[in-house]
Amino acid sequence: MKILFYDTKEYDRASFDRQLPAYPDITIDYLKTDLAPATAKLAKGYDAVCAFVSSDIGTKTIDELHQCGISLILMRCAGFNNVDLKQAAAYGIKVLRVPGYSPEAVAEHAMALALAVNRKLHKAYVKVRENDFSLNGLLGFNFHQKTAGIVGTGKIGAAMAKICHGFGMKVLAYDVYHNPELDFAEYVSLDELLKRSDLISLHCPLTDDTYHLINRDTIQKMKDGVILVNTSRGGLVKTQDLVEGIRARKFFGGGLDVYEEETKNVFEDRSDEILENSTTARLLSFPNVMITSHQGFFTQEALAAISQTTLDNAVTFLKGGTTENEVKA
């Protein structure tokens, strides 16, 4: 099987090349360019393509991939909201993903963001670098005996809930499905979670129902001085409403590993450019907001799991097998 990888970074290539000797039936070519309608035609002559959550795999891209004879789309990530699943199914193109490469990696990053925002570590680092050893502007609060609200209790949300529980926090949870592992958590309605939580961490998928889950109305239901963390999908939060809430001093702070309009920024060095999106610039301007570049997954263990599962998915497809990693419309 010949697979064309799109939007390949050096760490992607290194991770997959380490695994590749164990998969003699697979060959890989790597591209730096991302998958989009204009670049899909490069897949001609290949059996499959491998893409990431930032790729444009909409209707036009699927049409082009079909014309190129592609029968498999491998997503080296958990997310698939950027894929037109109905169009892929219409052409008989299968979509396989990596649903659980390292839940702990993302959950640990979520807590790192929460702690950094709470204890203002980003500000403290800059102050000390400038020989300012005063504590002015660095006051935080204990997480111990506070309340954490976990929205979405799948593998990542459950891992975050356990971390919060380990900090001695009361854990509230909101999800359609109750996770039996979380016997210490109290499942409540979303409104009650928003009302009672000192820390709110988002871990649900982006669907039509969860799009802009955090908006002006839900923000108004939150406690004053709440910390909001999002390591899931940018579209869960309506950015303009978040900006309004920050300006109104509703939030103690926010930690964002994902945000709306992040597509052009994800994994790219734009240090010599002027950001064309004023909303992103406004978020970056707030001293109580910490933004990272979709790095929640980025650990050695997670990269190894992503590469192995992706290649296992390819082998399963090659052998005509089935896998729970298949995503259907």
- 11, two tokens: 């760490």
Give the integer Cα–Cα distance in Å for 163 and 250: 25
Is 233 known to be catalytic?
A: yes
Residue of 76, 97, 109, 294 marked catalytic: 294
Amino acid at 322: T
Give the integer Cα–Cα distance in Å for 318 and 71: 10
Give the integer Cα–Cα distance in Å for 63 and 43: 12
Give the integer Cα–Cα distance in Å for 101 and 293: 18
Burial class (CB in 10 A: 0-12, 13-18, 19+), 249: exposed
Is 130 known to be catalytic?
A: no
Residue of 64, 76, 233, 260 marked catalytic: 233
Is 294 known to be catalytic?
A: yes
Residue of 262, 273, 282, 301 marked catalytic: 262
**Residue 279: which H helix or E strand, with range?**
helix 278-285
Give the integer Cα–Cα distance in Å for 135 and 141: 14
Q: Show the DSSP H helices in 177-248 as ranges.
A: 190-196, 216-220, 239-247
- 304, two tokens: 């190894």
The DSSP secondary structure of 35-70, one letter per residue, reads: PSTTTGGGGTT-SEEEE-TTS-BSHHHHHHHHHTT-
Active site residues: 233, 262, 294
